[in-house]
Amino acid sequence: MKMSRVHYIAHTGAVLFIFFSLMPLSAVPENLGSKVQDADSSIDTNQLKLREVVFVIQSQRNSFHKQQAERRREDLLLQTENLLESPPAILLLHSLSDNEGDWSILPLLPYLSSTFGKNSSWIVFLEEDTNVRLAKFLEVLTRFDRRKEWFLGKPLHDEESTIIHHYAFAENPSIFKYPDFAAAWALSLPLVNRLAIKVKDEPLKSDFTIDLKHEVALYIWENGKGPQLTEVPELCTMLDESPLAKHCATTLSYRLPMCGEPVKKEDIFVAVKTCRKFHTERVPVVKKTWEKQASLLEYYSDHADPSIPTINLGVPNTNRGHCGKTFAILKRFASGAVPKTNWLLIVDDDTLISLPRLQALLSCYDPSEPLCLGERYGYGLSQGGYSYITGGGGMVFSRETVVRLLASGCKCYSNDAPDDMVLGMCLNALKLPVTHSPLFHQARPEDYSREFLAHQVPVSFHKHWNIDPISVFQKWLKDDGMDPTSETPQKDIKEEL
Ligand SMILES: *[C@@H]1O[C@H](CO)[C@@H](O)[C@H](O)[C@H]1NC(C)=O
């Protein structure tokens, strides 16, 4: 399964050959590359074999996520046996290449095309918690003529134009549809083969990978030259046990993973970054909302204010990045100046977070492993860049990560460098992955699709701009003293592992 970039290049010729050799097979070759909106009901439904479908689980290297993905693969194989069909290829995304940035999928299309372009019909992408009802799923795929280009999924749309999508479609933000990855999404091989050539010919433009599902859809749509997302109503994000999910070919296993007793709040040290000008504006919001959920919390500032209290780290305040401040926090955490905990959470003074939900989530992670958890962004991924946890949504570190980071000597190139990106570069140099959770959010609830937020129990949001942060906290993050996970049906994953 291991492959390199050289491998992609070596296959260029092969892919071109595959692409053109497929064309005569198509009954309507002129449809290749154009928009095809309607499923053709006259397709011979007996022809699609399970082994023509390639499943790609969007897995991660961290041991918990790897285990989840392996369980998903086993579940698919078990269902295959029951269907008495030969098994499909099931790939774990994190194991396909040594390049950490390949979570962004587009760089992998040449590999998928050269490996499966000739002998398969569909590439199906799913998340580790996406249940597939395999017989139903296959039935759904047979509705679509696999000789044409298809981009299938459960559509999301923006209600207002948002910073996380670079304010795209500002005149009418809801017009553009992008797939909810949690419901699974699929590309027909003719589309994969064409995109693979495009990926190799034109370097990917964007420097930042922020919301991959939106960016992938934009790349495929190509200003109208490529297909739009076709809605498949059987691709669902309801919980598997929901009575409303009868028609679904995919469902979700849980809203918030939990693997046993929540981590104790005494085992999470919380660092809030602030500065003098926000002592009266933002710190009071933290105090009124989530500060009391913390057992160990310190505010770090450029000015010591005993009424909060804040600690002056001796790092001058900077208007842009906070690298100096963040590294001083890491050193203080490791130094023994504060109580020794397994976990460190670093947030901004305008981060809104639910610590009880974080405690529940952290039950799935091993604190002796190097873990850096939060919302993952990418920088220059297609040119050998790196991934990082975006700071505003909260960055969670295991003690082991902090120890290794400091021991490596990695440091800020300036006090005002962006702390989260520098940390990403450092981890990348150490070959430590960052771990993504879609429950952390760098922006406000308004910035995410309503449908996307509807199937999760969010852990954090960020920014006070144009919202009332206290009511956002109450609406999205507050559990009224109840078990944070009891409102939505949960499965205890540990029992199943
Ligand atoms: C297609 O080829 C790949 C690579 O050789 C192989 O792994 C896969 O099993 C093949 N699939 C089918 C349906 O023959």
pLDDT, tens digit, for every residue of 225-277? 999 999 999 999 999 999 999 999 999 999 999 999 999 999 999 999 999 99
Q: How far is the CA of 18 from the centre of ligand 1 (A)?
A: 14
Q: Is the CB of 51 within 6 Å of ligand 1?
A: yes
Residue ranges per structural domain of the chain: 5-252, 265-496
Q: What is the pTM of this model?
A: 0.88
What pLDDT is attached to residue 32?
Answer: 36
Of residues 343, 363, 349, 353, the one with CA closest to residue 479: 353
Average pLDDT over the chain reads 88
pLDDT per residue as tens digits for the range 409-455:
999 999 999 999 999 999 999 999 999 999 999 999 999 999 999 99
Residue having the nearest C-alpha atom to atom 5 of ligand 1 = 115
Kindly tell me if the per-residue pLDDT of 214 is higher than 60: yes
Measured from the Cβ of residue 469, the count of other Cβ atoms closer than 10 Å reads 21
Whether 121 lines ligand 1, by a CB cut-off of 6 Å, is: no
CATH number of 265-496: 3.90.550.50
Whose Cα sits closest to atom 9 in ligand 1? 89
Phi/psi of residue 40, nearest 5 degrees: -95, 115
pLDDT at 14: 32
Spatial separation of the C-alpha atoms in residues 435 and 372, rounded to whole Å? 6
Q: What's residue 326's pLDDT? A: 97
Sequence-distant (≥ 6) Cβ neighbours of residue 480 within 8 angstroms: none
Average pLDDT for residues 149-167, to the nearest whole number?
Answer: 96
Q: How far is CA 89 from CA 57, 298, 328, in A?
A: 11, 50, 47
pLDDT value for 481? 57
Q: pLDDT band at 8, cuts 50/70/90?
A: very low
> Could you tell me the distance, in angstroms and rounded to a whole number, from the CA of residue 119 to the centre of ligand 1?
6
Over residues 119-133, the mean pLDDT reads: 97
CB atoms within 10 A of CB 389: 27
Q: How far is the CA of 415 from the centre of ligand 1 (A)?
A: 52
Query: Which DSSP state fits 233?
Result: T
Separation of CA 61 and ligand 1 centre (Å): 25
pLDDT band at 484 (very low <50, low <70, confident <90, very high): low
pLDDT single digits (tens) 14-43: 333 333 333 333 333 333 333 344 454 444
- Residues in the chain, how many? 497
| Angle, alpha carbons 186-190-191 (nearest 5°) | 55
Task: Tell me how far the alpha carbon of residue 23 lies from the centroid of ligand 1, in angstroms.
Answer: 20
Examine the pLDDT at 318 and tell me if it is beyond 60. yes
Task: Report the C-alpha gap between 461 and 478 in whole angstroms.
Answer: 12
Q: Note whether 5-252 and 265-496 share their fold.
A: yes
Segment 156-182 shows an average pLDDT of: 95
Which range, of 39-48, 86-95, 179-188, averages the lowest pLDDT? 39-48
Looking at per-residue pLDDT, the higher value among 155 and 40 belongs to 155
Q: How far is the CA of 86 from the centre of ligand 1 (A)?
A: 12
pLDDT of residue 17: 31
5-252: what fold?
A: Spore Coat Polysaccharide Biosynthesis Protein SpsA; Chain A (3.90.550)
Residue 470 has pLDDT above 60, yes or no: yes
Contact 365, 300 (CB under 8 A): no
Q: What distance in Å separates the CA atoms of residue 416 and residue 423, rounded to the nearest whole number?
A: 13
Could you read off the pLDDT of 98-108 as tens digits, one per residue?
Answer: 888 899 999 99
What percentage of the chain carries pLDDT values higher than 90?
A: 82
Q: Ligand 1: does its nearest atom lie under 6 Å from the Cβ of 118?
A: no
pLDDT of residue 488: 45
- Quickly state the pLDDT bin for 482 (edges 50, 70, 90): low
Which pLDDT belongs to residue 205? 74
With a 6 Å cutoff on the Cβ, whether 116 touches ligand 1 is yes
Per-residue confidence (pLDDT) for residue 46, from 0 to 100: 56
Q: CB of 114 closer than 6 A to ligand 1?
A: no
